[in-house]
Amino acid sequence: MTTYDIDLGGRGPALEARDLSVFYGEKQAVQDVALMVPANQVVALIGPSGCGKSTLLRCFNRMNDLVKGARVQGTVDFHGQDLYGSGVDPVEVRRRIGMVFQKPNPFPKSIYDNVAFGPRVNGFEGDLDGVVEDALRRAALWDEVSDRLDDSAYALSGGQQQRLCIARTLAVRPEIVLMDEPASALDPIATQRIEELIYELKRDYTIVIVTHNMQQAARISDFTAFLYMGNLVEYGPTETIFTNPREDRTEAYVTGRFG
Amino acid sequence: MSGIPNSLGVGESRFDRRRRLYGTLFAWMCGAATLVGVVALAVLLMDVLVDGLGRLDYAFLSSFASRFPERAGVRAALAGSIWLLVLTALIAFPVSVAAAVYLEEYAQKSWITKAIQTNIANLAGVPSIVYGILGLALFVRALGLDRSILSGALTLSLLVMPVIIMASQEAVRAVPQTIREAAYGLGATRWQVVSYQVLPMALPGILTGTILALSRAIGETAPLILVGAVGFVAFTPNGVMDEFTVLPLQIYSWISRPQDEFRELAAAGIIVLLLLLLSMNAVAIVLRNRAQVRR
C-alpha cells in the first residue's frame, strides 16, 4: 500500500479512506485504497473503464450496500466516525453525503416535488418553499424554472434535469456531494454549465467527482486520483498529476497513451 | 439465364419467383390465423345477441330466478357476482401487492425465495377446480364459514393471487434502478423508497394485472360450485356470510334446461356477464391512464 503525503493547505479532511477494498462476489474491484478528501475541495477520480473509480465513489455514501453480492472492507473516516462501523445507519450517511448520478434521473413528478422529496423523507418541518427555492438557486436552475415548478421534471432538457438532480441533492443540505460522471450524458454547453456550477459549489461543499474526461478533471478539480485495475496508482494536486506525475502509468494515461 | 438478375424485377429466376410466393403465402397464413379469433368472437357475439337481446330489459335485471321463464331474471346472480368480485379484490389485491413488494424489494435472493417464486408460478397454472376443493375443505368446513360469499371470495382470492403477484412483480421490476438509487441517495429509507417512488410508478402495471386476474375470476364456475354457490337463489345477499349465486352458474343452470325460453334467458345472462367484463376492462384502462398522467 502506498500513501501519499498531500499538502492540504491547512484544510482538514472531509473523508478519509483507509485500506478500502470492495469485492463483487469473488472479484475484487477496489484494492486497499487509502485516500484523503480535503474539505471544500474538488477531488477527481480518473482512470480507464472498469478501474473501480465508480465503485470507490459509491463506498463514500454506502451506495454499494444496495448492490447484491458487494462487500466492503476497510474504513472510511467521516468526522472521526467510520462509515462502515457498527451501528452506523446508511440512511443517515446518505443524507449527509449526497450523490449525483451519471444519467439525469429525476423522479416522474413535478420539479417542486423532486427537490422537496429529500427534505420530506427526512422529516423537514418549516419553510419547504424556501428550501426548494434555495436549492434551485444554488444549482443555477431557479431562473429557468421558477414560473413552472409544477411542471413535470421530464419536460426539462437533459442539462436542466441534471441541475435539478443536483438541486435535489443540495436540498437535504449534505456536507459532501459525490458525482458519478455527472456530465457524460450532456452536450458541451450543458457540460460547461455543470462545471461552472461545481466551481461555485465547492465554497460550501466538498465534492468528489468521477470523470472520464481528462480535460474536465484538469479544469475543475483541486486534487486528482488516478485508479488502475482497482488500485490507487497516484494521488495528488491536480496540477502535479497532469504536469509532473511520479508514476509512468499516470503519465501514460493523462497524456492519452492508453485508456 | 444468369443467377443474378441484371435489372430490378426483370429476368426473375425460378428461385426468385418461388421465394416471393412463399413470402406471400406466409403472410396470408398468418392473416388467416389472426382471423380465427376475430371470427370466433364475432360468431359468438352474434349468436348470443340474436338469442338474448330480446330478453334483456330492466325486468330481467331486477327479477330473481323463477321456474317460469317469463318471470325469471339475473338479479341474485348479478348481485352475487359483484359482491364476490369486490370482496375478492379487497382480499387479493393488498395481499398480492405486499407479497410482490416483499419478493422484489426486501427478500434476499436465496434458494428459499427461488422456491417460493417457482411455487407461485406453478400455482398460477393449477386448475381452478382444485382451488374449489381446497376452499371446500379449508374455508367451508375447517373454518366453518359455510356456503357463504366469504368462502367463495377467499377461494377466488387464492385463485387469482398468483397472477396478481406475478404481474405486480413485473411492474415493480420495471421501475428503473436509477430511481431507487436517487431516492436512497437522498437519505430515504427502504419503506420511503417503496411507498413514495416504486409503488406509484408500478401502479399502472399492478392495476392492469389485477383487473385481468379479476376478469378471469368473474367467469369462474367450477370452484364456486364446490364451495356451495347454488343455481337457484331468490334473494340478494345482505352480508358476506349469506348464500349466493353468480352469473356463470345461473347461466349454466338455465342452459341445462330443455325449454327454449330458458336458453334465451341464458343468452341474455351471457350478455350481462360480457357487459360486466367490458366495464371492468374500461375501469382498468381509465385507472391506468390516470396513474400515468400523474407522472
Number of structural domains, chain B?
Answer: 2
The answer to whether B295 touches A108, Cβ cutoff 8 Å, is: yes
pLDDT in tens, A150-202: 999 999 999 999 999 999 999 999 999 999 999 988 899 989 999 999 999 99
Which pLDDT does position B27 carry in this prediction?
A: 96
Are B158 and B98 contained in the same domain?
yes
Chain B closest-CA separation from residue A190 CA (Å): 21
Residue B29 and residue B151 share a domain? no
Q: Tell me, yes or no, whether B284 lies in a domain.
A: yes
Q: Which three cell numbers stand for residue B215?
A: 376478469
A91/B185 touch (CB, cutoff 8 Å), yes or no? no
B181 and B225, same domain (yes or no): yes
On chain A, the residues whose CB falls within 8 A of the CB of B201 are 108
Q: Mark whether B215 and B284 lie in a shared domain.
A: yes
Q: Report, as an integer, the average pLDDT of A222-249.
A: 93
Q: Is the pLDDT of residue A235 over 90?
A: yes
B134 and B19 share a domain? no
Q: Is residue B7 situated within a structural domain?
A: no
B229 domain-assigned: yes
Give the pLDDT score at B9.
63
In a domain, B255, yes or no: yes
Best mutation target, B186, B193, B203, B295, to test chain A (most A CBs within 10 A):
B186
For position B108, what pLDDT does the model report?
85
Partner residue opposite A105 with nearest CB, options B178, B192, B196: B178
Give the residue from chain B lying closest to A111, CA to CA: B295
Across the interface, of B184, B186, B197, the residue whose CB is closest to A66 is B184
Identify whether B149 is part of a domain: yes
Q: What pLDDT, on a 0 to 100 scale, did the predictor assign at position A56?
A: 95
Residue B2 has pLDDT above 60, yes or no: no
DSSP B64: P
Cβ distance of B295 and A168 shorter than 8 Å: no
**pLDDT band of B4, cuts 50, 70, 90:** low
CB contact B203 to A (< 8 Å)? no
Cβ pair A91:B189 closer than 8 A: yes
Residues B254 and B113 in one domain: yes
Mean of all residue pLDDT scores within chain B: 88
pLDDT by residue (tens digit) across B202-233?
Answer: 998 999 899 989 998 988 888 888 887 776 77
What is the residue type of A39?
A: A
Q: What is the CATH number of the domain that holds B248?
A: 1.10.3720.10
**ipTM of predicted assembly, 2 dp:** 0.90
What pLDDT does A168 receive? 96
Same-domain pairing of B234 and B207: yes
Mean pLDDT of B164-175: 95
pLDDT digits (tens, 9 = 90+) for A237-247: 999 999 999 99
B186 touches chain A (CB under 8 A): yes
**B134 inside 8 A of chain A by CB:** no
Mean pLDDT, rounded, of chain A: 91
pLDDT at B1 over 60: no
Contact B179/A92, CB-based, under 8 Å? no
pLDDT of residue A259: 62
For B35-93, how does the pLDDT look when each residue is reduced to its tens digit (9 = 90+)? 999 999 999 999 999 988 888 888 888 888 777 777 888 888 898 899 999 999 999 99
pLDDT in tens, A23-36: 998 899 999 999 99
- Tell me, yes or no, whether B289 and B218 share the same domain: yes
Binned at pLDDT 50, 70 and 90, residue B10 comes out as low
Which of B178, B189, B192 has its CB closest to that of A101? B178
CA distance A153 to A104: 10
Q: What is the pLDDT of residues A119-137, one digit of tens each?
A: 999 999 999 999 999 999 9
Decide if B180 and A66 are in contact by the 8 Å CB cutoff.
Answer: yes
**pLDDT per residue as tens digits for the range A62-92:** 999 888 889 999 999 998 899 999 899 999 9
Whether B187 sits inside 8 A of A92 (CB atoms) is yes
Task: List CB contacts of B148: < 8 A, sequence separation 6 or more.
Answer: B240, B241, B242, B243, B244
Residue B202 located in a structural domain: yes
Cβ contact A168–B186 (<8 Å):
yes
Domain annotation covers residue B6:
no
Residue B46 and residue B89 in one domain: no
In this structure, the answer to whether residues B91 and B66 fall within a common structural domain is: yes
Quote the pLDDT of residue B240.
81
Nearest CA to CA, how far is A217 from chain B (Å)? 23
> Which pLDDT value is given to residue B95?
97
- A-B CB pairs within 8 A amount to 68
Domain residues for the domain of B27 are 14-55
Are A121 and B189 a contacting pair at CB < 8 A? Answer: yes
- d(CA A20, CA A31) in angstroms, rounded, equals 7
A124 class by beta-carbon count within 10 Å (0-12 exposed, 13-18 middle, 19+ buried): middle
Residue B188 contacts A where some CB pair is shorter than 8 Å: yes
Residues B80 and B165 in one domain: yes
Q: Which of B55, B76, B105 is the last residue of a domain?
A: B55
**What 3 state SS string does chain A have?**
CCCCCCCCCCCCEEEEEEEEEEEECCEEEEEEEEEEEECCCEEEEECCCCCCHHHHHHHCCCHHHHCCCEEEEEEEEECCEECCCCCCCHHHHHHHEEEECCCCCCCCCEHHHHHHHHHHHCCCCCCHHHHHHHHHHHCCCHHHHCCCCCCEHHHCCHHHHHHHHHHHHHCCCCCEEEEECCCCCCCHHHHHHHHHHHHHHCCCCEEEEECCCHHHHHHHCCEEEEEECCEEEEEEEHHHHHHCCCCHHHHHHHCCCCC
**Based on the domain organization, do B138 and B201 belong to the same domain?**
yes
The whole-number pLDDT of residue A2 equals: 45
Q: Evaluate whether residue B228 is within a structural domain.
A: yes
Of B108, B186, B201, the CB nearest to A117: B186
Between B287 and B92, name the one with better pLDDT. B92
Q: How large is the average pLDDT for residues A23-52?
A: 93
Read off the pLDDT band of B293 (50, 70, 90). low
